[in-house]
Chain A
Amino acid sequence: MRNTTLVVGLLAWLPAAGVALAQSQDTQQQPAGTGTTTLQRLCSEGAETEFGPGQLPNTARALRERKRLRVLALGSTPLNVRDQTQGHYTLVEKMIESSVKGVEVEIVDRGVSGELARDGAERIRTEVALVDPDLVFWQVGVADALALTPADELKETLSGTIRWLKAHNVDVVLIGLRYQRSLAANEGFQRIRKVIRDVVREHGIPRIGHYESIEALDRIRRQQGEPTSELDLTDAGSNCLADFLSRALAIGLFAKPRGEHGKLPGPPPPPAPTPAPSPPGKDPGK
C-alpha cells in the first residue's frame, strides 16, 4: 500500500513539479519568445530514455524501506544554468523531494570534469565504498570523445564498471553525450555515442537521452526558420538535464515502457504558438 502511494505520488507529482520549476525558473532567466515554450515541453515531456520497468531495483528498495535515497554523481558536474544560486544536483534533489513527501534524497557529487571513463571507472569503486550509494548518475563520454578514446576501450570500461556496480547492489543511470550540431556528423563523436547506447542496451540500464531531445529542439527551431545557436543548445541541454534525471528516475522505478523507448506521460503541454515537437528519437545511428 505504501509502495503504491509512492508510485502514484511520483507519477503524478514529478512531471508537474518539473514543469512548475522549469516554468518559474525559465521565466526568470529567459526573455519571452526565445523558444522557451518548446524547451519547456521537451523538458517536461522528458528525454528519450532507454529503460525497462524495474531497472532500478536498489533505488526502489531504498525508497521503499528507508525512505531515503543516496546518489553518487560522477563525470562533469552539470551547471544549473537556470538558477546559479544552487547547484544542479541540489535542484534534482529538490525536484524529487518535493514530488514525493517523506523521501530524503542526497546526491553526493564527486565529479571530476574532463575525467576519462577509464579514470572514472577506477575512482568509482573507491567512491562507492566511501559514499555507499543506492544509485550512480554517471555522466560519461564527452571527455572520451575529445580525447579520441578507442570505442572498444570505452565499451570494455563501461561494461566492466556496470557489472561491478550491479554486483554491489548499486543502480546506475548513464548520462550520455549531449547534442552538438557541429558534431552531428563527427565520426568519433557518434562512435562514442553508439558505444554508450550499446552498453546501455546490453546491460539493461537507463540512459538519459538528452542528445535526442536537444536534437529535436534544434530540428524544430530550424523548421520554424529560427535556427538556434550552438550556445543556446548547450544552455537548453543544461536546463533540461535536471528534469530528465528526475523523470528517468521515475521511469526506471515505476513506469511501464511504451514501445521500444519509453516516455512518462507528461502533463498537458502549455499553449504553444509553435507546432508540437515530433517525437525525439530519429536517430541516424540506429
Chain B
Amino acid sequence: MLRQVNAVDFWRGYALVAIFVNHIPQNFYERFTHKNFSLSDSAELFVFLAGWSLRHVVGRPEDPRPISDLLHRLFGRAVTIYVAQMAIALLAIAMLAAAALLLVNPLFLEWHNAAAIFYDPVRAHVGLVLLSHQLGYFNILPLYVVLMMIAPFVAIMHRYVPELLLPVSISIYLASVVFGITVPTWPVEGQWFFNPLCWQLIYVLGFAMSRERGAGGWVKRNIGWLRIAAVPIVVVLGIMGWFNLWWDPTKVPEPRLLFLIGKTFVTPIRLIQFLALIALMSAAYPYIVWALPSLVSFLSRLGRNSLPVFCVGSVLSLAGQIIRFAYGGGLLVDTLLIGSGIVVLSLVAWLSEWRSRKD
C-alpha cells in the first residue's frame, strides 16, 4: 500500500528535481534552485531525509523491529544502492564513450573524472567497484552505501544507548573537521567529494530529529522559537552569499575548517545554515499543501520512489549535458531538456508504483 502524501516525500521529491536541474550546469533553470540563495543545497536535504526515513525501518519505540530483521533490511538496502550505483556508473561511462565517438570529441573521455576509466582501465575498474573511484555528479550514492552500512549501528545504538548516538556522531564529525580527516580516492589521487565521516552527522541528525524522544522531541517542543532564531541565520547568510560578503578564509583561526564554508566536510557554518533552513521550510509545508496540492502530490510521488528516480535523473542529467554541448544551450533547448526530464522522472515513479501495485 502506498504511503499517503507527506512532507518527507514532498521535500525529497523537491530535492530530486533540484539535483536533476543542478546537475546540468549552466542551464537556464539552474538559477532558480535554492542553492543560489542558500549555503546548503539539495544534497544535505536528501541525506537528512534519508536519515529521517530510517525511523520507518527501526519501528516505533513501543513496537521496535527485531534486530535481525533490521540488519537484513538495512544491509539489503545497502546492496541495492550499491548495485544501482554500479549500473548508473556503467551507463554514464558508456554515454561518455558514445558521445566521444559520435561527436568526435575525446574531451568527453576525460569529463567528470572518467579519464582513468579509459586511460588507466585496469586500476580504475577496481576503484569503481570499490567505490574509491567516482564519476563527477555520480558521487552521492557511494555516500549512501556507506550510510546504509552504518545505519544498523545507528539503529542499534539508538535502541540501547540513545543518549550516546548524537555525541558519538558529533565527535566523529568534529574529529574529521578539526584534523582534516577524509576518505581518499584511488587510483586518481584525491578525496571523496562527500566525506562520509562528516556527512554521517546529517544522516544521524535526520534520524534523531524524526524521533519523539531525545533531541527530536526537544526540537519539536521548541520549534516555535527555533524558527524565529532561524530567520536571521538564513537571511544574513543568504545575503552574504548573494553579495559575496564572506570573511577572508586565510584570516580565520585554526582549525580553519571550523570557520570555512565547504561542501566536502559540510563545515559547521553550512550545517547550521541547513538546520536553520529546514526549521523554516518545515513551517511552509502546510501552506504549500493548501496552495498547490497537485504539486505536492506530484513531488511526493517522486519522493516515494527516490532510488529509481534518482538513478534515472542522474543518467538524464548527463544526457542533458551532452545534448546541451551538441546542440547549444539557450532557453528553448534548456526548457525541452528540463521539461522532458521531469516528465521522464514522473513516468519512472509512476511505473515503479504501478509495479508495486501489481506485485
Interface residues of A (CB under 8 A from B): 76-77, 79, 81, 84, 87, 89-90, 109-116, 123, 125-126, 128-130, 132, 142-143, 145-149, 168, 178, 180, 182-183, 188, 230-231, 233-235, 238
A112-B113, A114-B137, A230-B104 known, 19 other contacts, Cβ within 8 Å = A76-B110, A79-B120, A90-B189, A109-B189, A126-B249, A126-B262, A128-B249, A129-B252, A130-B256, A146-B107, A146-B321, A146-B325, A147-B321, A148-B325, A148-B328, A182-B103, A182-B106, A234-B106, A234-B110
Cα–Cα, bound, A180→B119 (Å): 17
In the complex, whether B271 has a CB less than 8 A from a CB of chain A is no
**Cross-chain contact B190 with A109 (CB below 8 angstroms):** yes
Closest to A81 in B: B119
**Cross-chain contact A114 with B106 (CB below 8 angstroms):** no
> Within 8 Å CB of B112, what residues of A?
113-114
Cα–Cα, bound, A60→B113 (Å): 32
> Within 8 Å CB of B111, what residues of A?
113-114, 142-143, 146
**Cross-chain contact B324 with A147 (CB below 8 angstroms):** yes
**Cross-chain contact A180 with B105 (CB below 8 angstroms):** yes
User: How many whole Å from A33's CB to the nearest CB in chain B?
Assistant: 22
8 residue pairs, one from A and one from B, having the closest CB atoms: A114-B136, A113-B113, A129-B249, A114-B112, A182-B104, A147-B26, A234-B106, A148-B329
**Cross-chain contact A130 with B26 (CB below 8 angstroms):** no
**Cross-chain contact A79 with B136 (CB below 8 angstroms):** no
Q: Among B103, B188, B324, B328, which residue has its beta carbon within 8 angstroms of that of A77?
A: B188
Cα–Cα, bound, A42→B325 (Å): 31
- 30 A–B pairs (Cβ distance < 8 Å), ordered by A: A84-B120, A109-B189, A110-B190, A111-B190, A112-B190, A113-B110, A113-B113, A113-B115, A113-B188, A115-B136, A116-B26, A125-B249, A126-B261, A128-B249, A129-B250, A129-B256, A130-B180, A130-B256, A130-B257, A130-B260, A145-B107, A146-B107, A146-B321, A148-B26, A148-B324, A148-B325, A183-B107, A233-B106, A234-B106, A234-B109
Cα–Cα, bound, A126→B193 (Å): 15
In the complex, whether B123 has a CB less than 8 A from a CB of chain A is yes
Q: Among A79, A143, A188, which residue has its beta carbon within 8 angstroms of that of B119?
A: A79
User: How many whole Å from B278's CB to the nearest CB in chain A?
Assistant: 23
Q: A109-B189, A112-B193, A114-B136 are in contact. Are A76 and B115 (CB under 8 A)?
A: yes
**Cross-chain contact B189 with A77 (CB below 8 angstroms):** yes
Closest to A108 in B: B189
> Within 8 Å CB of B321, what residues of A?
146-147
Interface residues of B (CB under 8 A from A): 25-26, 103-116, 119-120, 123, 136-137, 180, 187-191, 193, 246, 249-250, 252, 256-257, 260-262, 321, 324-325, 328-329
Q: Among A87, A126, A145, A147, which residue has its beta carbon within 8 angstroms of that of B260?
A: A126
Cα–Cα, bound, A4→B341 (Å): 62
Cα–Cα, bound, A132→B254 (Å): 12
> Within 8 Å CB of B191, what residues of A?
110
Cα–Cα, bound, A145→B191 (Å): 25
**Cross-chain contact A87 with B107 (CB below 8 angstroms):** no
> Within 8 Å CB of B105, what residues of A?
180, 182-183, 230
Closest to B189 in A: A87
> Within 8 Å CB of B103, what residues of A?
182
> Within 8 Å CB of B252, what residues of A?
129
Cα–Cα, bound, A114→B260 (Å): 23
User: How many whole Å from B16's CB to the nearest CB in chain A?
Assistant: 21
Cα–Cα, bound, A149→B321 (Å): 12
User: How many whole Å from B268's CB to the nearest CB in chain A?
Assistant: 13
User: How many whole Å from A153's CB to the nearest CB in chain B?
Assistant: 9
> Within 8 Å CB of B104, what residues of A?
182, 230
> Within 8 Å CB of A76, what residues of B?
110, 113, 115
User: How many whole Å from A167's CB to the nearest CB in chain B?
Assistant: 9
User: How many whole Å from A99's CB to the nearest CB in chain B?
Assistant: 22
> Within 8 Å CB of B136, what residues of A?
112-115
> Within 8 Å CB of B250, what residues of A?
125, 128-129, 132, 168
> Within 8 Å CB of A123, what residues of B?
262
Closest to B259 in A: A129
**Cross-chain contact B115 with A79 (CB below 8 angstroms):** yes
Q: Among B25, B106, B188, B249, which residue has its beta carbon within 8 angstroms of that of A231?
A: B106
